[in-house]
Amino acid sequence: MRELRYREALREAMIEEMDRDDRIFLMGEEVGHYQGAYKVSEGLLAQFGEKRVIDTPIAEAGFAGVGVGAAMVGLRPIIEFMTWNFSFVAFDQIISNAAKIHQMSGGRLKVPVVFRGPNGAAKQVASQHSHSVDPFYTNIPGLYVVMPATPRDAKGLLKAAIRCEDPVVFLEGETLYNVKGDVPDADEEEVIPLGKGRIAREGSDCTIIAWGRPYYTAMAAAEQLAAEGTECEVVDPRTLRPLDTDLMIESVRKTNRCVLVHEHWPYGGPGAEIVDRIQREAFDHLDAPILRVPALDVPMPYATNLEELVLPTTQRVVDAVKRVTYA
């Protein structure tokens, strides 16, 4: 084990996979000469050259489509969106093409493409640049949706995403890029299977389910609650589509209580989906309603005092756990 930043873990995953398979290339805005808007692809141009590390014009629908088309005929593109906010101009390429081609062609074509970039709010980048896109992409059959919280998961899941035969929506976090964490040594290859969640912390009193940045909020809340004698089990699904439903159900069957923490808007999305599955499959085990701690239902304001109100906080999670545990 060694400590790496989330950003470095992603970079290692791309380098290792690109070394292994020269059908893999990275394409996006500023990924090459500029070394990546958030420096995730730093050094890749020097290592792999302009053929495999391709700077594009600002044309997300165009280069997302180029990725899908290239994947149809045998390449394995990694398409970087500078941020997922900019995937909205390419939305049709992902939902109408990437997600449909395998089935529409009667299974004759497949689309092994990875779309990746930072998802969710950064810091004061305001309403057009602060979207959590997980509710949109998780609704769509044909796509995988992955959202790693730790450097280890970022590396292991990105490697799995690149090897996946289907289109993968890979959601990183601008505020996570600098996070440090343990990652297996370079010689111990770890490919974390898509669709498998992780128990990040064991506990018997309440299950807290969180992914992406809120995973850290959940862990902090669990610490605080433990000090007060409430033991929370923290579950990170890691992959949002397909969801590791069994893992979450099992935990709730044990704790009989559940709180979700997520940065996407309240209406629908993985947050509501997970609630639905739990109430359906663990109905008789629930001692309290399932509560969610989402972002507030507003476009993200610029002012920092308001942005802090909008995003989930440790305190809001603690309060929610107290409500469901009637503490």
Partner 1 sequence: MASGRDELLAHYEKMFEIRRFEEEAARAYAQSKIGGFLHLYIGQEAIAVGTNAALTDDDYVFQTYRDHGIALARGMSPNAAMAELFGKDAGCSRGLGGSMHFFDVENNFLGGWGIVGGHLALAAGAAFKSKYTEDGRVTVCFFGEGSTNIGGFHEALSLAGLWKLPIVFICENNQYAMGTPMSRTSPLDDLTLKAQGYGMQGDRFQGYDVRTVQERVGLAVKRARRGEGPTFIEVETYRFRGHSMSDPAKYRSRAELEERKKKDPLVIARDLLKEAGVGDEQMDEIEERVEAAIDACVKFAAAAEPAKEEVMWDTVYATDLSTKRGAGR
Catalytic residues: 60, 129
**Considering beta carbons, is residue 89 or 288 the nearer one to ligand TPP?**
89
Three-state DSSP class for residue 260: strand
**Considering beta carbons, is residue 181 or 214 the nearer one to partner 1?**
214
233 touching ligand TPP, by CB under 6 A: no
Question: Taking the complex as a whole, how short is the minimal distance between the CB of residue 94 and a copy of itself, in angstroms?
Answer: 9
- DSSP collapsed to 3 states, 268-314: CHHHHHHHHHHHHHCHHHCCCCCEEECCCCCCCCCCHHHHHHHCCCH
**Residue 192 C-alpha from the chain's centroid:** 14
Annotate 146-171 with b (16+ C-beta within 10 A) or e (fewer). Answer: bbbbbbbbbbbbbbbbbbbebbbbbb
**Considering beta carbons, is residue 88 or 226 the nearer one to a copy of itself?**
88
Q: Which stretch binds ligand TPP (CB under 6 A): 81-89, 98-106, 195-203, 252-260?
A: 81-89
- How far is residue 59's CA from residue 46's CA, in Å, rounded to a whole number? 24
46 touching partner 1, by CB under 8 A: no
Annotate 218-231 with b (16+ C-beta within 10 A) or e (fewer). Answer: bbebbebbeeeebe
Q: Which residue is nearest to ligand TPP (CB)?
A: 86
Question: Taking the complex as a whole, how short is the minimal distance between the CB of residue 265 and a copy of itself, in angstroms?
Answer: 5
Annotate 245-275 with b (16+ C-beta within 10 A) or e (fewer). Answer: bebbbbbbebbbbbbbbbbbbeeebbbbbbb
Instruction: Give the residue, chosen from 7, 11, 102, 213, that forms a contact with partner 1 under the rule CB under 8 A.
Output: 102
- How far is residue 316's CA from residue 314's CA, in Å, rounded to a whole number? 6
Enter the tokens of residue 124: 């004061």
60 touching ligand TPP, by CB under 6 A: yes
Instruction: Give the residue, chosen from 15, 16, 89, 199, that forms a contact with partner 1 under the rule CB under 8 A.
Output: 89
The residues in 29-88 that bind a copy of itself, with binding defined as CB under 8 A, are 61, 85, 88
The residues in 244-273 that bind a copy of itself, with binding defined as CB under 8 A, are 264-265, 267-273
- How far is residue 133's CA from residue 169's CA, in Å, rounded to a whole number? 10
**Considering beta carbons, is residue 85 or 230 the nearer one to ligand TPP?**
85
Instruction: Give the residue, chosen from 43, 59, 182, 228, that forms a contact with partner 1 under the rule CB under 8 A.
Output: 59
**Considering beta carbons, is residue 46 or 109 the nearer one to partner 1?**
109
150 touching partner 1, by CB under 8 A: no
Q: Say which amino acid occupies 69.
A: G
Q: Residue holding tokens 């779309």?
A: 115
Instruction: Give the residue, chosen from 141, 185, 188, 229, that forms a contact with partner 1 under the rule CB under 8 A.
Output: 141
Question: Taking the complex as a whole, how short is the minimal distance between the CB of residue 240 and partner 1, in angstroms?
Answer: 11
Instruction: Give the residue, chosen from 250, 296, 313, 323, that forms a contact with partner 1 under the rule CB under 8 A.
Output: 296
Closest CA to 213 of 263, 156, 178, 270: 263
Q: Say which amino acid occupies 263.
A: E
Q: Residue holding tokens 């807290």?
A: 208
Which residue ranges make up the site for a copy of itself (CB under 8 A)?
61, 85, 88-89, 91-92, 95-96, 99-100, 103-104, 126-128, 131, 135-136, 138-142, 241, 264-265, 267-273, 275-276, 279-281, 283, 286, 288-292, 297-299, 301
